[in-house]
Structure 1
Amino acid sequence: MLSLRILSALLLPLAALAAKPSGDRFADFHTKPQPLKLDDTKYTSLTTAPRDYSSIVLLTAMDPRIGCVACQAFAPEWDLLARSWQKGDKQGKGRVVFGTLDFADGKATFQSLMLQHAPVLLLFRPTKGPDAVPDPSPVRLDFATGSQSAESIHAWLSRHLPEGPRPRVVRPVNYMRIGMITLLALGTVSAISVAGPYILPLIQNRNLWAALSLIAVLMFTSGHMFNHIRKTPYVSGDGRGGISYFAGGFQNQFGLETQIVAAIYGVLAFSAITLATKVPRIADERIQGFAVFTWAGIMYLMYSFLLSVFRFKNGGYPFHLPPF
């Protein structure tokens, strides 16, 4: 017990010496992990002139009851920037100190600055030494343009700080993301290798690609994109208690009108394809003749209806085909 007391008495002067400030404010601040957690007193000590270093202070409000979403979102980016800067400039050649003052710890400072929102970034440049500036007031960055990243704040600081090191932002390796991408890539390769013999014939099927191409052509030639761009109504009233399926004029159309026109085009295309490819293969002449007249009649009726729709949209069009 006596030996412990003697040891404590011997170590007490050393502890007091270690806790005693060195007289160089920058050295005292720089040796601590960045960003420094500040209160009103430490903020004053860090920013009071004269100073031969640059101090960067983030004024924030992390209390969930305040509900500062921007403060919560920027906090990890700010910590990453401060740690990267301190790690990249271990010798302190750039003479830069980072600090964070939360509203809960610095209400007097917030009131003196008359801050009505957060976060706000203040850059205090040196007031003495070779990099001193004549104006001691801080350079202020408000987050009015949205959320900021560590890289964007790094670029802003690089424009305003004196000459010196500009340690880059080093983001930690996201092993989870790398693992997920690797697993996804391996899973995709495995799925392709297993399902390849079944999928390849389907991809190489000309009829499938012809059908998909025909559907795409019918959609876009009938005005499908026009409906999405103009946000056209599906149908409209005709003023007499009924429904109007077609809109007059070439600058107007309805959603149902587009579907009707696409169906007409589809029937016409299917009729032409059948007459050109299927009907000639019919061995029975009577059935072949009946098929020719049937599909030709369908084409005639659909084209007649299409002309009637065109005349409705353009009243001056002089041509038509009976029965429409």
Structure 2
Amino acid sequence: MDTSTWRRTDVRLACVFLLSYLAAGFFLQVEGVASLAERITKLTELSNQRSIIKLNNERYRELVKAAPRNYSIILMLTALNPNRGCQVCQAAHEEYQVVADSWRITGGNDKVFFTMVDYDEGHDVFNSLKANTAPVFMHIPPAGKPKDADTLNIQAVGYEAEVIAKWVQERTGNMIRVVRKPNYGGVIAFSLLMVLVAGFLYLRRNSLEFLYNRNVYAWILVAVILFMTSGQMWNHIRGPPFMQRNPQSKQWMYIHGSSQGQYVAETYIVMSLNLAVAIGFILLNEAAKSTTEAHKGRNKVMAIAGIALVAIFFSALKSIFRAKYQGYPYSFLFK
């Protein structure tokens, strides 16, 4: 065989190799696109069945770790088993459920999916993400590795649904309008109270002099003001936990460490402090009413008691405010 024949053979082989390489690359690309489409279809079907997709080790590798991706994964690492001793996992899961339901109700797209991994079902996921606490909220971006900001700092901002929704918007660019299920318990309780009041007035219809007593209305107004200023309406709307255990120190926390949240116990504490301040001002006002010599000693005691109540408990209120709003520079008796 001459040299020209060898050259023609080499050219043919090179063309065949090149065509085979291009064809293989094409089919691999098509296969990758199909795999991405299949994952999106599966995630969409699962999210339609349940707004939070529960993952185990295998599903995590298939739907979250697999590449390529053009969607974001919001992942909650939790431990809902009571034997695990996670005191806040259930409350955090309920708030996370509100966000996921709101995303689906308000017309979510296939660019963000809400998922959850329980330690008992996906401990390998915890190990791969180097998570040694729960709950943890993470954002898995479409490309690249998660950054520090892709983990929600619940110790600083809490885990309320509004906080999670704002964080998701910052990480994915998708706004979520939080929609909470209506609570009819308050309406029923208020209706029963009105029925009891109407029944009481009917039974006392022949002696209603107390309705003309100004002190009665004064105390009613004080009660309403204390109810509103302590945050009871916020509790009714948001439904926060009564208190929470600190995951590091294992101590119970009655005051929320962020201005974005509060506990039920905290509202009772604030209400009691406001009541003590109000009583202090009432004592000061009553002490100034009478200037006769007969009541001079009593008025002095009332004035001292009023000043002490206002100074001590108002200082306590400022201390709580200072703890919740980091950087607040003012204090009185307590830091």
Aligned to 1:59, the other structure's residue is in SS state strand
Aligned to 2:139, the other structure's residue is in SS state strand
Among 78, 93, 96, the residue aligned to 1:60: 78
Q: Which residue of 2 aligns with 1:25?
A: 39
Q: Which residue of 1 aligns with 2:96?
A: 78
2:70 and 2:214 mapped to 1: Cα distance? 75
The equivalences for 1:98-177 within 5 A come to 98-127=114-143, 135-137=144-146, 139-145=150-156, 147-162=158-173, 164=174, 166-177=175-186
Q: Quote how far apart the aligned CAs of 1:70 are.
A: 1.3
Q: Quote how far apart the aligned CAs of 1:112 are.
A: 2.1
How many residue pairs get aligned? The number is 197
Q: Superposition RMSD on alpha carbons, in Å?
A: 3.3
Aligned to 2:95, the other structure's residue is in SS state helix
2:178 and 2:137 mapped to 1: Cα distance? 18
More helix by share: 2
1:191 and 1:227 mapped to 2: Cα distance? 39
1:37 and 1:224 mapped to 2: Cα distance? 59
Identity of aligned residues (%): 25
Q: Which residue of 1 aligns with 2:274?
A: none
Amino acid of the structure 2 residue aligned with 1:29: L
Query: TM-score if structure 2 supplies the norm length?
Result: 0.51
Q: Quote how far apart the aligned CAs of 1:120 are.
A: 0.6
Whether the aligned pair in 2 keeps the contact of 1:70 and 1:147 (CA below 8 Å) is no
Among 31, 39, 42, the residue aligned to 2:56: 39
1:124 and 1:213 mapped to 2: Cα distance? 59
Q: Which residue of 1 aligns with 2:257?
A: none
Whether the aligned pair in 2 keeps the contact of 1:54 and 1:124 (CA below 8 Å) is yes
The equivalences for 1:148-297 within 5 A come to 148-162=159-173, 164=174, 166-192=175-201, 194-195=203-204, 198-200=207-209, 203-204=212-213, 216-217=286-287, 218=299, 221-228=302-309, 229=311
2:88 and 2:157 mapped to 1: Cα distance? 8
Among 106, 114, 121, the residue aligned to 1:88: 106
Aligned to 2:74, the other structure's residue is in SS state strand
Amino acid of the structure 2 residue aligned with 1:44: R
Whether the aligned pair in 1 keeps the contact of 2:138 and 2:151 (CA below 8 Å) is yes
Distance 1:74 1:213, change over 3 A: closer
Distance 1:140 1:204, change over 3 A: closer
Name which one, 1 or 2, has greater alpha-carbon Rg.
Answer: 1
2:76 and 2:155 mapped to 1: Cα distance? 15
1:101 and 1:143 mapped to 2: Cα distance? 18
Q: Quote how far apart the aligned CAs of 1:219 are.
A: 7.2
Q: Quote how far apart the aligned CAs of 1:145 are.
A: 3.1
Aligned to 1:78, the other structure's residue is in SS state helix
Query: TM-score if structure 1 supplies the norm length?
Result: 0.52
